[in-house]
Structure 1
Amino acid sequence: MNEAIAIFQVEARENLELIEQGLLDLLDRPEDRDLVDAVFRGLHTLKGSGAMFGFDALAGFTHHCETAFDRVRKGEVAATTDLVSAVLAARDHMRQLLEDPSGDHGAAGDALLADLERAVREADGAAAPETPKAGATTWRVKFELPADAFRNGANPLALLNELRDLGEAHVVVDTSRVPPLSRMEPTDLHLGWTVTLTTEHGRSAIEDVFIFVMDEMTLSIEAVDAEAAAPQEAPQAAPQAAPQAAPQDAPVQAAAEPAQAPVSAAKPAAVAPAAPAAEPAEAGGAKAAKAAESVRVPADRLDELMDRVGELVIAQSRLSQIAAGGTDVALRAVSEEIERLSGELRDTMMVLRMVPVSTLFGRFRRLVHDLARETGKAIELSTDGESTEIDKTVIERLADPLVHLIRNAADHGLETAEDRAAAGKPATGRIRLSAHQSGGEVVITIRDDGRGIDRDRVRAKAESQGLIEPGAAISDHDLLQMIFHPGFSTAAAVTNLSGRGVGMDVVKRTIEGLRGSIDIASRPGEGSEVSLRIPLTLAIIDGLLVRVGHGRYVIPLDAVEECLELSLDEDLRSRGRSFISLRNSLVPFLRLREMFDTGTPPELHQKVVVVSTGAERIGLVVDQIIGDHQTVIKSMSKLHSGLPTFSGATILGDGGVALILDVGHLVAKGQQQEAQMREAV
């Protein structure tokens, strides 16, 4: 039962997400009846399944919301902005009741229901024009439940009664699936039903009857001519069929007793040709096959599997090293085969962990809706590149930074409608989220068309906090990076949205923890753009193994542009300026031997590894390039986690440890060194 409840909670969370997305779409398209029906079905499903699994508070609260929203579905009230916002707030309360069913949420729930009732009353006079009804329609409804329907708690009698509640119904039982007595399972369901229903309700009302069993059943709903569908006495079943049907007498009787219209055990050939009746069965089979294509797997099992794949890669690396050092041809062949298989397994595992950023971007529609109501600004959110995929762990850790950046754009960046009109801009401010893959990174950009960053205010705040000396020269890049300093805020007052100088610091620390980098650009009066560069995965990367002194280090291969040779003479000539000429451009470089204080003399022929992040690049001087290395990233210990130069460590094939260089930090350090040298000149 605990496992069933856990599955219900997972599916209920997904249902709540669909309800929220439907409500947000409804704000843009309030006349869309399909959206209204979809939201209503979501509420109906949540209410029914919540009651089934003992979440009575959730079922009761959702029932009131469903009742209110049913008036929208029937066209009695319009889907106004206030009404949809009230249902959104109620949806948040449903989430709380789902996560903490034993908590005391009564007072909060009563207040939300009061707000919802008030929104319905206000929308009562603004009912959407309803399409005139052309009178009652006759429908032929054919359905078959799966054989294990009884064991799963389905009740065909309840479905038939709900259909009768919609209008005049004539029910015919299909016994064509009843097996011989020798092969019959008493707990299996072998019957089907054909219902001729005359009702003023539409197709969606009929579909709602089967909402809890829709995914597993065969259902056909078609409008028919009333005269052609007039009830006819079905022929008597053949005498020889009686012994086969005998074991099912009890279910057939049970289905017949509540019926007001005559029920027959005749086969459906007496009602409709057999060929059309086969089509829904084929469709149902296709649906079952499609459902079997995917399997729900807990995220922690994927993480555990990823750890095992990482250990396999390390073991394969050791095997390759042993095979390369020996003369056994058979061992080398086996080593190469295992290397190929482990590489394919790694790539497959990486794909399993990848999820589209649409799962992340979809969360912010609600955030922007709430920000617009709180700030009184008209805000439009647009997204691009939602199909771009990124590691699920990265997705989870990106949520908070993006929330801070979007809140900052809405509060600081976008102007009020009056200020935008004075600046010749549209009244609606725009925030755009986009994502695209660049090599081994995903670049996520947050762009707004607001006022831009006031550099004078940023500089004044930085000087007042002692971050820079008054009047000191500072590059535009470094000035804009000041907004990520802890406690830094240019807000005039503290509000619910900003002003404490905490949000942007959280953004910087989180992105650096992901081995990523932040670029920021701003144009006065036109808006700002923040670009987050994030590695595709945090688990396994391809790296370039290098030696500096007696130590070995890994440089992420995606950041490497090229490798050059730096002779001892050139190294001596570049002392004091640390630049190399690369195709008519000067590139600063860092001597890692000096940074790491190796205490060893320089090699005769040193190498320069040119790395880049975005448009910035530097050279890293190393003693030897050992070769490429499949790197399983291990996090640093608490004692070493504060070292900014390294983003992790890995175990080599010989059992030794190599530190992974943080390219973003090194590039920033190289660019800072370049700026200092230019100022000195």
Structure 2
Amino acid sequence: MTNDPREAFVQEVDELLEAMESALLSLEETPEDPELLHTLFRAMHTIKGTAGVFGFDPIVDFTHRVEGVVDGLRSGERALDEPLIAILLSCRDHTLALVQAVLEGEDPSQVSADLLGRGQQLLDRLCPEPVGDLTAPVASAPDGYGAAKVEKLAGREAADDYWIISLGFGPDALRNGMDPLSFLRYLGSLGEIVDIATRTDRLPPLADFDPESCYLSFQIGFQSDADKATIEGVFQFAEDDCEIDILPPRSKIEEYLALLDDLPEAQVQRLGEILVKIGALTEKEVAQALAAQAADQASARPLGEILVGRHDIQRSIVEQALDKQEKSKSRVAQEGRYIRVDALRLGQLITQVGELVINTAAMRVAVQRRDTDDLQEVVERVEALVGDIRDNALQLRMVQIGETFSRFRRVVRDVSKELGKEIDLVVTGGETELDKTVVEKLNDPLTHLVRNAMDHGIETPQERLACGKPAKGTLQLNAYHDSGRILVEIRDDGAGLDPQRIRAKAEARGLVEPERNLTPQETFRLIFEPGLSTKDEASSLSGRGVGMDVVRRNIEALRGSIELDSQPGQGTKVSISLPLTLAIIDGFLVGAGGEQYVIPLAQVAECVEIGREQALTHGDRHHVNLRGEVLPYLRLKEFFGIRSGAARKLRESLVVVRVGHAKVGLIVDELHGELQTVIKPLGRVFENLKGVAGATVLGTGDIALILDVQQLTALLQAHPQPQAVSGRH
């Protein structure tokens, strides 16, 4: 794991900007959701603060302006609409560009003038109206204060938004040289005293009046950007002769709640410390409350109750602080279970576990040759332990596919607006887990398929309404487990594919003979041939057919398969079948023609013996009658071109394998049983070998090929007598 704090900064920014993008897209549906608005503010606020620590001034300057706009959204000063969401999305992208620029440049405080110019253009669109001169001097305090009722200030109207300061000087204040008016003038230098009321309840009867004693007590309405500690500091030198209570403005209360929400979990400790950190209380007030709690131990009053009653703190702040404190304890305990691990180190661990699996198998073979019962038991225990280690190691690299799916919300939003279409993205199965390396390599093919569905699949609102469909189209992303594999579906309710048009295009390009009969699935499969497109003009976004051969190659490189199904006028479904992991699998070892092969165990449905009379041939097609079901099959040694002098047996072993709903049979000579298989990639010499996903080293030291069941099934469906090697490139 890296110790470079800049890399940690980049990781944090990526996470915050992903959250910001997700929140903005959700706000299009629920523009007044306060939690989503808090997420926007928290992203900009945190990035600004962290960038300031590193001295990344361009990021600080830009995010500060954006943060101000988002803060206005939270307070209701500005309404959130679709154009503003679009600008904020662009601000999110520009923030990422700034981060990349400052990290790549020699001077983090400088970025290119072009980048700064683009940022200024965004800010001009974000804040088209001037907000005033923030550097203008604060107005001085008035010399005189109009009388006002204490009740008016204490029960201020909703439109009022200022500090309420209850100030009572002690009887010895004048004797001690205090000038109450000087404190009020100093207070005025920090803001504006908008109203003041003199309290008379402390005045004694005239007969008891002492002209040297101080009976002044005020209720002050004060408008200022200063925090509570600064305001309290005005009266620091009079604290022994003065009683002061400060009630924050309503906007400050909202700010405290927001700051409390943004407070990092690591800083959430004791209640008093939380309230001091966000500025809701001063250290002096907390100390007074703790002293009151200690003096009244008999009643065992909670500190939160004392703070609410003694210092007029809004109950909502204390309650939320307590809630934050509880969530922090829970989250810290939860996060304590996790650590960040370098992906390279994790890959090395998987490789080492793979070697351990191979050597355990070799140990098993060596012990079997010596036929030692005691060692057999030891080997079984070691194998079980290695199996657990293997499973746990692979789980470390498993991630949910939902994060990849969620990234397409932005793609769907931007592309649909560019095309003038209305498209709703529906995501299901996001909790499905598969290997991190598979997820990363799946992103590009998925992006191409999603763009295809939006560009050439889903119609414009006018076309949909004319066909009796809703104006808004639907694009679905779904993932789920099936027979030890992951199925990913991209489904749209658009115009669908036209088989006749695909066939005509394929014949025109010489990809299929006019007299050849094709099933609908075989026709749709032509889409994956290089260069075939049903569109007369390729779009800049995508072209269904243009690039689909690349999609197929990328999926097959992951030992996966891709299928198309479509109904004209109803939509298209693309199904991608993927392995859970690319490293280690449970396999089933078979023999054919003196060679050994591994079939992924998750795809083995059953093993049966069949007689010669069950294996039938009709023309160039081979099938077996399995309990009344017609099952296509191939003989492995014939498929791989292995010549064997051994005569065919009267009864043969048939391994039934399944891919989705499709089943085929593989006729083999021997069944050796289950084993753990470490997948080794084949070299470029074997890249055109069909039906093979890789190789593995057996415990005997021999090499066995791992069969690609998806490809074998597709080959059987497309060609009655497929061969392992088809042409040279």
TM-score by length of 1: 0.80
**Aligned counterpart, 1:526:** 570
Shift of 1:277: 3.4
Shift of 1:622: 0.9
Query: Pairwise mapping of residues 415-430 of structure 1 onto structure 2 (< 5 A)?
Result: 415-430=459-474
Q: Is contact 2:272–2:286 with CA below 8 Å preserved after alignment?
A: no
**Structure 1 residues 588-597 or 598-607, which shifts more?**
598-607
1:358 pairs with 2:402 = yes
Q: SS of the counterpart of 1:555?
A: strand
1:165 pairs with 2:216 = no
Q: Is contact 1:138–1:223 with CA below 8 Å preserved after alignment?
A: no
Q: SS of the counterpart of 2:227?
A: helix
1:268 pairs with 2:289 = yes
Distance 1:260 1:653 in 2: 70
Distance 2:600 2:287 in 1: 72
The one-letter code of the counterpart of 1:622 is V
**Aligned counterpart, 2:117:** 110
Q: What's the Cα RMSD here? A: 3.5
Distance 1:360 1:443 in 2: 15
Q: Is contact 2:452–2:543 with CA below 8 Å preserved after alignment?
A: no
| 1:453-499 CA distance string (max 9 Å, x none) | 12232222212211123354222111111111222222232332124
Q: Is contact 1:560–1:610 with CA below 8 Å preserved after alignment?
A: yes
1:536 pairs with 2:536 = no
Distance 2:605 2:129 in 1: 63
Shift of 1:435: 1.1
Distance 1:339 1:320 in 2: 9
Change (3 A) 1:117 1:576: closer
Shift of 1:78: 1.6
Q: SS of the counterpart of 2:510?
A: coil
Among candidates 198, 202, 209, match of residue 248 of structure 2: 198
The one-letter code of the counterpart of 1:87 is L
1:371 pairs with 2:415 = yes
**Aligned counterpart, 1:442:** 486
Q: Highest CA radius of gyration, 1 or 2?
A: 2
The one-letter code of the counterpart of 1:16 is L
Among candidates 464, 482, 495, match of residue 526 of structure 2: 482
Distance 2:8 2:281 in 1: 39
The one-letter code of the counterpart of 1:43 is M
Shift of 1:375: 0.5
Q: SS of the counterpart of 1:648?
A: strand
1:639 pairs with 2:685 = yes
Distance 1:223 1:132 in 2: 27
Stretches of structure 2 that go unaligned for 5 or more consecutive residues are 106-110, 132-156, 166-223, 234-244, 305-321, 723-729
**Structure 1 residues 355-364 or 604-613, which shifts more?**
604-613
Distance 2:477 2:129 in 1: 35
**Aligned counterpart, 2:666:** 620
| 1:211-257 CA distance string (max 9 Å, x none) | 46443322649999xxxxxxxxxxxxxxxxxxxxxxxxxxx9xx9xx
Q: Is contact 2:616–2:623 with CA below 8 Å preserved after alignment?
A: no
**Aligned counterpart, 2:60:** 59
Shift of 1:636: 1.0
Stretches of structure 1 that go unaligned for 5 or more consecutive residues are 125-130, 140-161, 172-194, 225-251, 677-681
**Aligned counterpart, 1:216:** 267
Shift of 1:96: 2.5
Change (3 A) 1:563 1:287: closer
Distance 1:632 1:163 in 2: 65
Query: Pairwise mapping of residues 569-580 of structure 1 onto structure 2 (< 5 A)?
Result: 577-580=621-624
The one-letter code of the counterpart of 1:624 is E
Among candidates 521, 536, 543, match of residue 492 of structure 1: 536
**Aligned counterpart, 2:368:** 324
Among candidates 641, 662, 678, match of residue 708 of structure 2: 662
Distance 1:455 1:673 in 2: 20
**Aligned counterpart, 1:609:** 655
| 1:490-512 CA distance string (max 9 Å, x none) | 22323321248543222211111
Shift of 1:543: 0.8
Distance 1:664 1:418 in 2: 40
**Aligned counterpart, 1:550:** 594
Distance 2:544 2:605 in 1: 40
Distance 1:223 1:440 in 2: 49
Q: Is contact 1:546–1:552 with CA below 8 Å preserved after alignment?
A: yes
Q: SS of the counterpart of 2:302?
A: helix
**Aligned counterpart, 1:69:** 70
Q: SS of the counterpart of 1:67?
A: helix
**Structure 1 residues 198-207 or 521-530, which shifts more?**
198-207
**Aligned counterpart, 1:175:** none
Distance 2:670 2:225 in 1: 79
The one-letter code of the counterpart of 1:277 is L
Q: SS of the counterpart of 1:497?
A: coil
The one-letter code of the counterpart of 2:683 is S
Query: Pairwise mapping of residues 6-405 of structure 1 onto structure 2 (< 5 A)?
Result: 6-101=7-102, 102=104, 105-121=112-128, 164-165=226-227, 197-201=247-251, 203-209=253-259, 211=262, 213-218=264-269, 220=271, 263=284, 266=287, 268-270=289-291, 276-277=302-303, 284-405=328-449
Distance 1:484 1:470 in 2: 19
Distance 1:52 1:389 in 2: 37
| 1:175-222 CA distance string (max 9 Å, x none) | xxxxxxxxxxxxxxxxxxxx9652222555114546464433226499
TM-score by length of 2: 0.75
Distance 1:136 1:327 in 2: 89
Change (3 A) 1:263 1:614: closer
The one-letter code of the counterpart of 2:402 is S
Q: SS of the counterpart of 2:577?
A: strand
Shift of 1:661: 0.7
- Aligned residue-pair number: 596
| 1:428-447 CA distance string (max 9 Å, x none) | 11101111111211111111
The one-letter code of the counterpart of 1:433 is L
Change (3 A) 1:653 1:293: same
Distance 2:327 2:461 in 1: 52
The one-letter code of the counterpart of 1:40 is F
Q: SS of the counterpart of 1:639?
A: helix
Identity across aligned pairs (percent)? 39
